[in-house]
Structure 1
């Protein structure tokens, strides 16, 4: 992959418009602002058409999936899509996959049993033709991080504190990519910031993959109950003035991350790309006025 610097953005596929011209315009603005990457969350379909539209509209922006859920994906289609993108946009696409969560698997009539084994099998069978250096995985626990080190170019942790980043770097070693996601909100009013944060974070507290990891980093059952304590929310979402937001994101880099995928939250609860917020982040992290 190309050198994509220290900062990228993470955004759910659900926020991208359907109109190809609007997709291209947003992608070009991201690239023009100076972000090195954009990571598409929410399990984008395995045809990777959204990824291709973003790549086609830009010249050097790296696009990654963070992640494609293996329970939803047809491995042969995903591998073929990766090969197509590699032919046309060599070095600019990172295929991130992950074992998802029990509710997704169960909604598809599958038993969520031995998810890490299923992920390893997916990598070594369905994605065996995808070069190791062009694939990454969602990884929270030590065994998943060891799998990232063994079978991929690196790890894409989500909802993790900087202390997890430090542990992940030790497990991955120095030669694997480590790209954590970090949610941010630019605003100094605690009530507003936590209201915005809880719109995003609350649903994750029903998923044992995340709560098990978070308990390993000092969060109690009370922190993780209901909508989550202020302590949890203030860690999951870095909020405050420009200096506070910068400090919170850079804590991951100081802990050993290669790059941080910044998920920018908007005070507007509607489903839309946070274009204005991206511009604000570019001012903070990339020196644009």
Structure 2
């Protein structure tokens, strides 16, 4: 599988009820971000992926992620079919959200259905939210690559070893542009505290050296290990560590310190520092 040409710096975008995310998408494209990833947990339908692609010009738009236990493969096939007719090559189908006793088997079955659809969703146009070694191997063998979240630069290096040289690795990185340690950590403590108890995250955190006590907190140690916080230079250094460890792209999951704020200022500052 040939690596996707994603560019080094992507960014996530949440869907807003007032439709303001469409203007935000156009702004992010103008700022020079390489890829926009739509936050999948907020998707009541898959329509926002179509809407963001049509609100922008050329930037690739990915799903981060479409949960396979929520959306049937037919929904994914129909979305890609519609967009390939009008905006070919711009949708990156990020898939995940398979939990339960046999997630690897269930994801394989889901990918089988995408392979045999008419038209198919090709392996080179999809990425998997992979953490464990077998899911990373599946990302290498049956997708363009992996889209992990809540990982360290050391994990990035491990993932690159598993994926090899040809697969794509886009690492999602929480970012808080705030130098006060307490405020920076408190900004993400609730959201990360929920995620670290879901699916394969606890097991992967243990593989990365975090303890059950770290996960239960979540502890400052865990937050410092998973989140790029601080001033622009500190965030840039963290991004560089992921890229040096083998990431093709670092996807910025920017969290403003003010609840419910849209991080326009942070997006601009990060673009100026990381993109130029």
Match in the other structure for 1:251: 241
Alignment counterpart, residue 138 of structure 1, candidates 86, 111, 129: 129
How does 1:214-225 map onto structure 2 within 5 Å? 214-225=205-216
Runs of 4+ displaced beyond 4 Å: 44-47
CA distance in 1, matches of 2:89, 2:113: 23
CA distance in 2, matches of 1:147, 1:195: 35
TM-score, length-scaled by structure 2? 0.92
SS at match of 1:163: helix
**Offset, 1:151:** 0.6
- Alignment root-mean-square deviation, CA: 1.8
Match in the other structure for 2:273: 284
Match in the other structure for 2:60: 62
How does 1:20-169 map onto structure 2 within 5 Å? 20=19, 22-43=20-41, 45=43, 48-101=46-99, 112-128=100-116, 129-169=120-160
SS at match of 2:201: helix
Match in the other structure for 1:206: 197
SS at match of 1:133: helix
- The number of aligned residues is 271
TM-score, length-scaled by structure 1? 0.88
**Offset, 1:19:** 3.8
CA distance in 1, matches of 2:232, 2:21: 28
Paired residues of 2:98 and 2:107 also in contact (CA < 8 A):
no
Q: Deviations over 1:94-141 (max 9, x none)?
A: 00111344xxxxxxxxxx230111011100124531111111111000
**Runs of 5+ consecutive residues of structure 2 not aligned to the other structure:** none
Paired residues of 1:46 and 1:78 also in contact (CA < 8 A):
no
